[in-house]
Structure 1
């Protein structure tokens, strides 16, 4: 069942009418029960959290705590935020991830500034809030958004681009305005993943008028935003982004595929349940070259499963090498 801390947090957020944090903790409880094998209870909790509750004469609140507009304003801006913003589970700590020193320092700086935002405010300064993460797929960009949400104890919402882009003239910009209204209204970490979908260069040969208008709208909303939320944009293709975007970010963190030292540290971290103390991992150096963290993580998981099922839980280098080779192919 829920831990004492989670129960206290649920009661606290309920009393404070902080629905978003209440929902975040409730989903954490559901995930914990699912991991224990209590699938029926977990599903019941998730169903209750995601069920819609509404009343004609009060604020309308969705299951995710997103659409918080009055009956009058909902008629003016009839946008279903549940289809635009997805609430994600964020339970990844900074010490659980392996990144290069430059990335790690950049992320830790953002966390530190937000933790001490009141101290900065006394000197008319504010923490970095608009962050661009760029680099190859599988190098930790989405995971970083989870780390930021976990460390700052904030909900994590991911923008659903398939719900944002509309074929009707001007409708996409209206949805984007609703998203930024939510960002201003409720402090959280908001992840714009695959950001090049709306941030592509306006002079692109494949550009269409609606995409150009969306980017112009985003630039305006993004620049006008002065909320306390943390906006994280992630892209695998920074070269496709419009140049006007870069100067609007407070920080740009570049990700890369792991070096051998980072890969070795990642393997040991991923397989911490196995005894690797006597293993010499250097023979794996050439095999992991060019692999992303995501692929390397999958290879480690494959090796762990094989080790448990076929080798009595005794990990060795040939087993790892086989899993890495299979994943690389």
Structure 2
């Protein structure tokens, strides 16, 4: 059975709402059982952990009430995914300049009433740019976690309609929702609607949606945070950039940041050889944060499946190399 300290850690992390620590401790218990030869039980635990991660959902609370989009806006249930994250900025490994920008957003949001008394507007319209896996989507969750708000993820594929005018009406409803329910609204993969209006192929409903977005974000005076995230900033219409209070660019992690990601995701485990984290980090240069996290998870799985007591460095390096290809 699991050690007493692991059980205490499991209960404490659950009580604190520390999801990442909860899953990490559960994985440690699975690894411990595998080392004892209880491979079937260890595999069952691993499967349960993966299933829990995949299907994780939480009750949404806004000012002590369950959020529901009803009445004339019930159509938004098919357009918006809503949840209440627990992660904070300190749970993320970020470039120093990115972290400073996000910290300033949080500070201004926490002083929103004071700033408005002086006729000043806090930063709340953000454009996040960078390669996939560098933390843009997680940033929306972390900002919401810092401010105790819900995250509203807009499904852009459900926004575009073949019927003229319907997409614009849906977009207007989303901006109306920002007034009714303060939260962090994320338009992910924004380049799908934010492309240059003068591009030959950009015709019809998408162009109309872009024009409508420009009008709505310009007029929006709600207390919600509006985030647009894109992997392709060069494809965005230039008129978009001046609509945002801040443009935050996410670089790939450097060696120092990679070391932090490795230590965070491998904490509680030992490596099979004396290979330094510095050496492993250098091998991972060029990968995104999410790629490095997945490489760590693959190595931990290998340890559990093979019934080993330490993470095979060879498996970790192989996983890193595969993700570079």
TM-score for the superposition, normalised by structure 2: 0.76
Distance 2:248 2:309 in 1: 38
1:172 deviates by: 0.5
Q: 90, 94, 97: which one pairs with 1:99?
A: 94
Whether the aligned pair in 2 keeps the contact of 1:146 and 1:156 (CA below 8 Å) is: yes
Q: Secondary structure at the match of 2:263?
A: helix
Give how far 1:119 is off.
2.6
RMSD: 3.0
Contact residue 134 and residue 289 of structure 2 kept, 8 A: yes
Aligned partners of 2:277 and 2:77: how far apart in 1? 46
SS of residue in 2 equivalent to 1:199: coil
Q: How many pairs are equivalent? A: 275
Q: CA deviation at 1:198?
A: 1.4
Return the TM-score normalized by structure 1.
0.76
2:184 to 181, 189, 210: 189
Which of 262, 269, 279 matches 2:257?
262
Correspondence for 1:148 among 120, 139, 143: 143
Aligned residue among 221, 227, 239 for 2:216: 221
Q: Which has the higher contact order (CA 8 A, sep 6+)?
A: 2
Please list, as runs of the form range in 1=range in 2, the aligned pairs for 1:1-329 lying within 5 A after superposition.
65-67=68-70, 69=71, 74=72, 80-275=75-270, 279-310=275-306, 312-315=308-311, 317-329=313-325
What residue is the counterpart of 1:20 in the other structure? Answer: none
The CA deviation at 1:273 is 2.1
Cα contact 2:79–2:156 (8 A) shared by 1: yes
Residue 279 of structure 1 and its aligned partner are, at CA, apart by 4.8
Q: Are 2:266 and 2:296, in contact at CA under 8 Å, matched by a contact in 1?
A: yes
List per-residue Cα deviations over 1:247-279 (Å, max 9, x = no partner). 110001000111111111111111122246965
Segments of 5+ residues of structure 2 without an aligned counterpart are: 1-10, 27-44, 50-56, 61-65
Q: Tell me by how many angstroms 1:65 deviates.
A: 0.7
